[in-house]
Amino acid sequence: MKTLLRCIFVLMTAASVALCAQSVVQVFLNETMLDQVGLKDDFTNDFDISPSKLITLVAGNQLHLLGWGGLAPTAKRLPGHISSFAYTSDGLLFVISSDNLGFVNKEGSFEQVFKLPSSGMKISGGKDRMYLYEQNPSGTNSLYAYFKGRKCVKLVESPEPIRSVSEMSNTIYYATGKAIFRFELGKKLQMALGAPGKDVIESVAADPETGALYFSAGGSVYSLTDETVTTVTRQTGGLLKYRTGTLFIFNATNRFLVGISSTEGRRNVSPKRLGSRLDMRH
């Protein structure tokens, strides 16, 4: 992984491009692939990867599962305005629809859990909890922890919209446009990093194996390790997710998704091959 952090990546349109001895970029989705399946709907600005390695996207209020067999839509469209979604560690897909939190049941339908304090909130998955957070342009924005079957617990308030949340062991990281903050329950909130220059920090993703925190800002992606910032790529930015040796970057506006992997002593996360039947619990 150290080799990966020293490399500056140039994203190319090949499906799998070796960049240096121990690193590789895989293009999982781009405009050419979308043209082939005729998908013209705009993507929701979010994505996730199921425990069984299915990349999940939403376009036109419809879930799409991305694997080696291609991009497959589910049969049912979700209600309301879908702002965010995330998997639990056991594969249940939670979805925020307008100001409602719900999940996708085995029939592929939206099942409401409870009403949220505001509309258009975001959700991220943790080891044994889900994180819900607000992105109000004015006023206070709250970050909550939701334990399945129990009520939400407010963790912190921010004067700025909370753009992204990621968990590393007992530490919770969250990004506003101007900074990345970290805290542990019962301990003092700390600023981990200020935004570089005038760039806006869009997303964070933690690698619990190395302790690296990846973040995207100003169209670039960086890693933060032991207070040292390293450039991963200056070619593209977007939303980030990290899964066992692979950093995924999704840009909803430019309609592409790539993965940057290290082949040095790691098992890369490759999307699962899609079967003929789509089970919504992954």
3-state helix, strand, coil in the chain (%, to 5): 5, 50, 45
Question: Is 178 a domain residue?
Answer: no
My answer on whether 55 and 74 are in the same domain is yes
Q: State the pTM of this model.
A: 0.84
Kindly tell me if the per-residue pLDDT of 203 is higher than 90: yes
My answer on whether 223 and 144 are in the same domain is no
pLDDT at 270: 46
Tell which wins on pLDDT, 42 or 196. Answer: 42
Six-digit token string for 114: 């409870």
Residue ending a domain, among 108, 138, 162, is 162
Question: Is 169 a domain residue?
Answer: no
Counted domains in the chain: 2
My answer on whether 127 and 234 are in the same domain is no
Question: Is 190 a domain residue?
Answer: no
CA distance 49 to 68: 14
Strand partners, 137: none
Tell me the per-residue pLDDT of 253-280, one tens digit each, with 9 for 90 and over. 999 999 998 755 444 444 444 433 333 3
pLDDT above 70: percentage of residues in the chain:
84
pLDDT at 15: 32
CATH number at residue 113: 2.130.10.10
My answer on whether 126 and 51 are in the same domain is yes
Domain boundaries, position 19: 1-40+202-264
CA distance 65 to 49: 9
My answer on whether 211 and 106 are in the same domain is no
Kindly tell me if the per-residue pLDDT of 164 is higher than 90: yes
pLDDT at 281: 41
pLDDT at 264: 53
My answer on whether 35 and 81 are in the same domain is no
pLDDT at 18: 31
CA distance 80 to 135: 18
My answer on whether 6 and 68 are in the same domain is no
